[in-house]
Structure 1
Amino acid sequence: MAKELKTLRLILGDQLNHQHSWFNSETDSTVYVMMEIRQETDYVVHHIQKVLGFFSSMRNFAEFLKERGHELIYFKINDKDNEQDLEKILKRLISERKFEKFEYQFPDEYRLDKQLKKICKELTIETETFDTEHFFTERGDLEKFFKGKKQLTMEYFYRDMRKKHNILMVDSNNPEGGKWNFDKSNRKKWKGEPEIPHERGFRKDVSAILKEINKAGIKTLGGVNEKSFNWPTSREDALSVLNYFCKNLLVHFGDFQDAMHTNEAYLFHSRLSFSLNTKMLNPREVIDSVVDYYYEHKDEIDISQVEGFVRQILGWREYMRGIYWKEMPGYRRSNKLRNQNDLPPFYWDAKTKMNCLHHSIKNSLENAYAHHIQRLMVTGNYALLTQTHPDEVDKWYLGIYIDAIEWVEITNTRGMSQFADGGIVATKPYVSSGSYINKMSNYCKDCHYNVHKKIEEDACPFNSLYWNFLDSNREKFSKNQRMNMMMSLLDKKDSEEMKSIRKRAASIIEHPSDF
């Protein structure tokens, strides 16, 4: 029998997968390493709750490993022997502890994938890579699925995933409820009814970790109640949030998943994305739990509530990961509309008279959270209409949200939100005037600006910005069939109105702090 090599295994901060096959048995020859390092806290300015969430979750995972008898080397942020750099720490450990083999799970970020490949090339010991055992798909599956196709359409990929994994299917070809997609049922405005249950929150005291972060001098954004941290940071926490969602929020999730309201931070959303993206939860168990609960309560819960949730995880999440690995590294530089402006200053303090932006940004700063429509149709919409450079938008989204990891952030931001990829992810820009925001929220009700006006001093800035954006990109959108109707309406506007629209839009773009 061959002798087991003395092996060092790396676990990254978003690889907290308690169910990974690595942990099925303990051996004296295997040592795990985890690290809190400035390399990861400083590549962008992160929300303080994001740093706290990761550090706390990593430390809980470390305890899980130790309790099961695994040997672990853990570097806290202020440890004296913490060199704050992945390569330096790994090479020193391998040399000092005389490891004979190095193993790691595939990273989900391109920069870490590249860095670890470089490290392994320079090592003189044996190396091996493993799957994270988390996603439904492998990195290259989406590219294979769309090989030879001119257009990448998420819906076709989603249907194939439903069939392949037998999720919400009556039989091998027919979907539950008679339709594949109930998106048209997922667009209701919440007007105070039905009552929204309080989120499954937490009151964790993270003051000790916060002191360590401050001592390290890590620059962060946003705020936190250090005595009442509100995010799940262990598998037990994450499972409790999942169960709470099924029992209390799923019944109305689909109806109001696009709704926005000044008094509600979460509405009927699950708050599971952080647990999923750190891998404390597996997407299969999340979908199974939701679908099983639906089948047990079909008399209370409509298929549209469940399908909308499944589509986000089985469809959109896997699709975006596939796009990421298909298009990187060039994707992070894409700027097809050649937008060059800075992100308006109020994205960092929520000090704007525009009610929709004030509330969406305030929620982001206070909770490290905003749901997908706030991100897409409020903050993202405004950034695109003001022709902000996608690099600026990426940094903000990657930093401010607790669930933001580049593989899922950049595809949603640069692709779906900013149309910077020229149509790889989205077939048309997701832009709108104030009318859409008014349709889906109560933001416009008490706003300083009038959503029904375009060019007056108290006119909603989104309105002139919207028409100005179409006008500025007339040539780029002229052959986009999905833009035909709006471009036709643009052509019908008289020259004087367009002159006023351009003037108003220019004023907003040049002096964002005035609005």
Structure 2
Amino acid sequence: MFSVSRLILVLGDQLDLESAAFDGLDASRDVVWMAEVKHESTKVWSTKARIAVFLAAMRHFRDDLRARGITVDYRQLGEPGGETFAEQLRSAIRRLKPQGLIMVEAGEWSVGREIEEVAAEMGVTLEARTDRHFLCSREMFQRHAERRTQFRMEFFYREMRQHTGVLMEAGKPAGGQWNFDHDNRGSFGKEGPGLRIPPRRFTPDELTKSVIADVDAHFPGHPGSLVEFDWPVTVVQAREALQDFITHRLPEFGRYQDAMWTSEPWLYHSRLSAAMNLKLLHPSVVIAAAEQAYKDGLAPLEAVEGFIRQILGWREYVRGIYWHFMPGYLERNAMHAEHELPAFYWTGETDMQCLRDVITQTLRLGYAHHIQRLMVTGLFALLYGVQPRRVHEWYLAVYVDAVEWVELPNTLGMSQYGDGGVMASKPYVASGKYIQRMSNYCQGCRYDPAQSTGPRACPFTTLYWDYLLQHEPVLRRNQRMGMQLKNLSRLSAGDREAIQKQAASFRAACDSST
């Protein structure tokens, strides 16, 4: 090995060939360092699919760099160096004796701090460069935040549209309005979604098969399955997945983005979030492809705007919120929820059909779309009163696209209202009637979403009314909760007592099995 000038650190979610970390790279003196760190998969009990997505993408990226003549020091699972990130990095510095470290700013607060501490301990310089993958830098978001007394994604989204020119026509939003969310709340009729072209699958190649074998060997007790593993794990595959979505699902994405259906995990969703969060796919490429589909008349504006809002709006916004409020954001618990996560979140073994379907799907595929996350698993945890950090840890563990900067604000803030209104203007609470309206999950379920008490009462409905009763004094200060609290006021004293008694009994039964 030649004398190493700079050690370029590439983390598992930084697989970007255009990364700023490679600016000025001298292939004759610089070394790229990558490591598969066991602790990163055990600090939360990660599903096998999530682990495999990261490792398969990392190994393919390593080989791509080597094919370009770049020296890569790569440590696979089980190789010497330690089981934690800090141990592996210390070992690499001792072996390679670099003059300095270069990286793109870490996506996780604790990892960034860990690298800083190791660099200081080992006496090497560390240069952390701005991540060009994002369309809004941390500094740009900070300027946005300084102009606001209240955070709302819609205002940020409009600024980003103006800043980038995306879906803008003569300085105004395409179609004359910023947001077509009202047009994107369709549900399927009784016949369901009908026949659709299934998403493009990516059969594991030999390298990915070796990852699957390693994951099964090193993490045998972890939840989930790798039998149906077919995620894109290379840049080429990610581009193919994008084109597949634009061609076959984007046109109907808007109308049905909130709809759910039993045993239908994909529907019209993109399956691109994991590739983007690993940096295999740049968001500007995704946005441009969707916008071009609108310009070419291949997809309606409401579908394209709804999809672009998730990327240019939500994705960039949650990253800004994450870095603006960390590290204290992780501990927020505005509604003082203290229950543990029910055990069935790790097995899917529940007689609530909606939760059984979504959790089983999640453990099988490492995936659920955003409404399944927000209004099924997330809604139940919120109504039940689970500690927000425990919900966050579950989401971080089970989904293939989960990295902390995007998952934490969406879960703790948006889903669980743990930040007290930073991410969402009100708690996203609803009874079982919402799930009945947006899916077929209630058909054949032993529970009736119209009932809040009695043997057939839907736990979602019981817990919904109980949540309003528990938090009524706080919620009355929120104007957006007016209608729900007005309905609450119609309950008699006897109804209130019966609901609270049934909710307490239900929680006690779940808690005893956790």
2:195 alignment partner, SS class = coil
Q: How far, CA to CA, are the matches of 1:495 and 1:126 in structure 2?
A: 67
Structure 1 residue 218 displacement after superposition: 6.4
Query: Are the equivalent residues in 1 in contact too, given 2:44–2:397 (CA < 8 A)?
Result: yes
Partner of 1:500: 498
- Tell me, which stretches of 5 or more residues in structure 1 are unaligned? none
Q: How far, CA to CA, are the matches of 1:193 and 1:231 in structure 2?
A: 23
Deviates more, 1:86-95 or 1:485-494: 86-95
Partner of 2:54: 54
Partner of 1:457: 455
Partner of 2:95: 96
Query: Are the equivalent residues in 2 in contact too, given 1:78–1:212 (CA < 8 A)?
Result: no
**1:132 paired to 2:146:** no
Written as runs of structure 1 = structure 2, the 5 A alignment for 1:204-283 is 204=204, 206-217=208-219, 219-225=221-227, 228-283=228-283
Deviates more, 1:195-204 or 1:416-425: 195-204
**Residue by residue, what CA displacement relative to the aligned partner does 1:388-427 show, whole Å, maximum 9, x if unpaired?**
1112211111100000111111101100000111111111
Q: How far, CA to CA, are the matches of 1:184 and 1:51 in structure 2?
A: 37
Partner of 2:442: 444
Q: Which amino acid counterpart does residue 330 of structure 2 have in structure 1? A: R
Q: Which amino acid counterpart does residue 466 of structure 2 have in structure 1? A: N
Q: How far, CA to CA, are the matches of 1:194 and 1:350 in structure 2?
A: 26
Query: Are the equivalent residues in 2 in contact too, given 1:346–1:513 (CA < 8 A)?
Result: no
2:203 alignment partner, SS class = coil
Distance 1:190 1:18, change over 3 A: farther
Written as runs of structure 1 = structure 2, the 5 A alignment for 1:156-171 is 156-171=155-170
Identity of counterpart residues, as a percentage?
37
**1:474 paired to 2:472:** yes
Distance 1:198 1:171, change over 3 A: same
Structure 1 residue 219 displacement after superposition: 4.6
Distance 1:149 1:321, change over 3 A: same
Q: Which amino acid counterpart does residue 315 of structure 1 have in structure 2? A: G
Query: Are the equivalent residues in 2 in contact too, given 1:32–1:73 (CA < 8 A)?
Result: yes
1:370 alignment partner, SS class = coil
Query: Are the equivalent residues in 2 in contact too, given 1:76–1:82 (CA < 8 A)?
Result: no
Partner of 2:489: 491
Structure 1 residue 22 displacement after superposition: 4.5
Structure 1 residue 120 displacement after superposition: 2.4
Q: How far, CA to CA, are the matches of 2:218 and 2:512 in structure 1?
A: 36
Q: Which amino acid counterpart does residue 27 of structure 1 have in structure 2? A: A
TM-score (normalizing by structure 1): 0.95
Partner of 2:290: 290
Structure 1 residue 512 displacement after superposition: 2.7
Q: How far, CA to CA, are the matches of 1:143 and 1:484 in structure 2?
A: 33
1:204 alignment partner, SS class = coil
Q: Which amino acid counterpart does residue 385 of structure 1 have in structure 2? A: L
Written as runs of structure 1 = structure 2, the 5 A alignment for 1:309-458 is 309-458=307-456
Query: Are the equivalent residues in 2 in contact too, given 1:137–1:318 (CA < 8 A)?
Result: yes
Q: Which amino acid counterpart does residue 498 of structure 1 have in structure 2? A: R
Q: How far, CA to CA, are the matches of 1:418 and 1:126 in structure 2?
A: 40
Query: Are the equivalent residues in 2 in contact too, given 1:340–1:387 (CA < 8 A)?
Result: yes
Q: Which amino acid counterpart does residue 419 of structure 2 have in structure 1? A: D
TM-score (normalizing by structure 2): 0.95
Written as runs of structure 1 = structure 2, the 5 A alignment for 1:62-101 is 62-79=62-79, 81-101=80-100
Structure 1 residue 89 displacement after superposition: 2.8
Q: How far, CA to CA, are the matches of 2:342 and 2:388 in structure 1?
A: 13
Q: How far, CA to CA, are the matches of 1:210 and 1:315 in structure 2?
A: 34
Q: How far, CA to CA, are the matches of 2:419 and 2:498 in structure 1?
A: 30
Q: How far, CA to CA, are the matches of 1:514 and 1:83 in structure 2?
A: 38
1:181 alignment partner, SS class = coil
Query: Are the equivalent residues in 2 in contact too, given 1:44–1:395 (CA < 8 A)?
Result: yes
- Tell me, which stretches of 5 or more residues in structure 2 are unaligned? none
Q: Which amino acid counterpart does residue 244 of structure 2 have in structure 1? A: Y
**Residue by residue, what CA displacement relative to the aligned partner does 1:322-368 show, whole Å, maximum 9, x if unpaired?**
00001111110001111111111111111111111111111111110
Deviates more, 1:12-21 or 1:324-333: 12-21
Partner of 1:19: 18
Query: Are the equivalent residues in 1 in contact too, given 2:20–2:130 (CA < 8 A)?
Result: no
Query: Are the equivalent residues in 2 in contact too, given 1:452–1:460 (CA < 8 A)?
Result: yes
2:101 alignment partner, SS class = strand
Q: How far, CA to CA, are the matches of 1:55 and 1:476 in structure 2?
A: 45
Written as runs of structure 1 = structure 2, the 5 A alignment for 1:28-43 is 28-43=28-43
Q: Which amino acid counterpart does residue 508 of structure 2 have in structure 1? A: E
Q: Which amino acid counterpart does residue 468 of structure 1 have in structure 2? A: D
**Residue by residue, what CA displacement relative to the aligned partner does 1:112-169 show, whole Å, maximum 9, x if unpaired?**
1111121222233333221221000112322321325221111010001001000001
Q: How far, CA to CA, are the matches of 1:251 and 1:488 in structure 2?
A: 39
**Residue by residue, what CA displacement relative to the aligned partner does 1:62-82 show, whole Å, maximum 9, x if unpaired?**
000000000011100011x23
Kindly report the root-mean-square deviation, in angstroms, between the aligned alpha carbons of the 2 structures. 1.8
Distance 1:21 1:464, change over 3 A: closer
**Residue by residue, what CA displacement relative to the aligned partner does 1:293-338 show, whole Å, maximum 9, x if unpaired?**
2211x2x421001000000000000110000001111110001111
Query: Are the equivalent residues in 2 in contact too, given 1:262–1:443 (CA < 8 A)?
Result: yes
Q: How far, CA to CA, are the matches of 1:91 and 1:444 in structure 2?
A: 54
Q: Which amino acid counterpart does residue 201 of structure 1 have in structure 2? A: R
Structure 1 residue 17 displacement after superposition: 0.4
Aligned length in residues: 506
Deviates more, 1:329-338 or 1:188-197: 188-197
1:46 alignment partner, SS class = coil
Query: Are the equivalent residues in 1 in contact too, given 2:12–2:278 (CA < 8 A)?
Result: yes
1:255 alignment partner, SS class = helix
Structure 1 residue 202 displacement after superposition: 2.0
Q: Which amino acid counterpart does residue 202 of structure 1 have in structure 2? A: F
**Residue by residue, what CA displacement relative to the aligned partner does 1:152-199 show, whole Å, maximum 9, x if unpaired?**
111010001001000001122x11111100001111012334532201
Query: Are the equivalent residues in 1 in contact too, given 2:21–2:104 (CA < 8 A)?
Result: no
Q: How far, CA to CA, are the matches of 1:41 and 1:263 in structure 2?
A: 28
Query: Are the equivalent residues in 2 in contact too, given 1:45–1:219 (CA < 8 A)?
Result: no
Query: Are the equivalent residues in 1 in contact too, given 2:348–2:360 (CA < 8 A)?
Result: yes
Structure 1 residue 445 displacement after superposition: 1.6
1:146 alignment partner, SS class = helix
Q: Which amino acid counterpart does residue 62 of structure 2 have in structure 1? A: A
Deviates more, 1:157-166 or 1:203-212: 203-212
Partner of 2:195: 195
Distance 1:122 1:514, change over 3 A: closer
Structure 1 outlier segments of 4+, above 4 Å: 21-26
Partner of 2:111: 112
Q: How far, CA to CA, are the matches of 1:94 and 1:513 in structure 2?
A: 47
Partner of 2:143: 144
